[in-house]
Amino acid sequence: MFGGAFDPPHWAHRNLAETALKQLGLDQLHILPTGQAWHKTRVLIPAEHRVAMCERAFAGLPRVLVDQREIRRDGPSYTADTLRELAAEYPGAQIFLVLGADQLLAFKTWVRWQEVLQCATLAVANRGVNIGAEAVSDSQVEQDLSGVDIPFTRLDMPLHNLSATAVRAQVQGKSRRYPDLDVLVPEGVARYISEHHLYRHAT
Ligand code: ATP
């Protein structure tokens, strides 16, 4: 499974999904846009938009399913609950939880993180350290994962120092680093953002 706010989904998300499919030899990849993200203080844009953008962002990748169960579930989205459900649906399967290095470093703050480790193997991609609104720098530094004392497997993906925060800042005109949104998000996502006038105002 690969979960996230996907507010909006960007190129690093797509490349991470593609990398996981290939390097882990997955039979199926569930993309899970979160419902109520318990760890984000910012209000996310409505789920229907994030789902529609995920459909576009991950289009054309084989064996990928945009799974809306966390959106339909009442209350906060906990990965431990989602993994329990998936484990019941795929009895005997090895389940991987795909995530970026920033999330691995915060992993022990997750609700019932021990349960997550019982259900899934963490598959982690590098992420540059300068994430945030100004994030897409030319000199990129990998997160240092040497102190992490939980088991995980590494995904080998080039650094994309890119974040949804940076995409929103670009749309709001706070950053003029890129002439074209297509550099940050797949074309279908850029079109959707523009057609639906998303992210014009700060949230
Ligand atoms: P925001 O900037 O709003 O916090 P985000 O870009 O971190 O958003 P999320 O939807 O929160 O995007 O991330 C979903 C998952 O994708 C997380 O596991 C995160 O670590 C991973 N991810 C996001 N961007 C990158 C990136 N540039 N490189 C590697 N992993 C990434």
CATH code, 2: 3.40.50.620
pLDDT of residue 114: 98
**Tokens linked to 172:** 């709001």
Asked if residue 9 is part of any domain, the answer here is: yes
In whole angstroms, give the CA distance from residue 173 to residue 192.
Answer: 17
Instruction: Answer yes or no: is 195 within a domain.
Output: no
Report yes or no on 170 lying in a domain: no
Residue whose CB lies within 8 A of the most ligand 1 atoms, among 102, 136, 161, 171, for a mutation test: 102
122 beta partners: 97
The answer to whether residue 191 sits within a structural domain is no
Residue 174 is assigned to a structural domain of this protein:
no
Q: Is the CB of 100 under 6 A from ligand 1?
A: yes
Atom of ligand 1 nearest to the CA of 103: 20
What is the per-residue DSSP string for 141-201? -B---TT--S--EEE--------HHHHHHHHTTS--S-S-GGGTS-HHHHHHHHHTTTTSS
Q: Give me the phi and psi of 64, to 5 degrees please.
A: -110, 135
Q: Look up the pTM and report it.
A: 0.93
* Helix spans in 78-132 (H): 79-89, 101-105, 113-119
Within 8 A by CB and 6+ apart from 139, the residues are none
| Ligand 1 neighbour 134 (Cβ under 6 A) | no
pLDDT level of residue 178 (50, 70, 90 thresholds)? low
Please report the atom of ligand 1 found closest to the CA of residue 160: 27
pLDDT at 131: 47
What is the pLDDT confidence band of residue 163, given thresholds at 50, 70 and 90? very high
In a domain, 119, yes or no: yes
ipTM score for this prediction: 0.98
The C-alpha atoms of residue 162 and residue 173 are separated, in whole angstroms, by 16
pLDDT digits (tens, 9 = 90+) for 7-65: 999 999 999 999 999 999 999 999 999 987 666 678 899 999 999 999 999 999 999 99
Instruction: Give me the pLDDT at residue 40, please.
Output: 63
Q: Is 66 inside any structural domain?
A: yes
Residue 61 lies in a domain: yes
Domain that residue 52 falls in:
1-130+141-160
pLDDT, tens only, 86-138:
999 999 999 999 999 999 999 999 999 999 999 999 999 998 776 444 544 45
Number of structural domains in the chain? 1
8 Å CB contact between 41 and 2: no
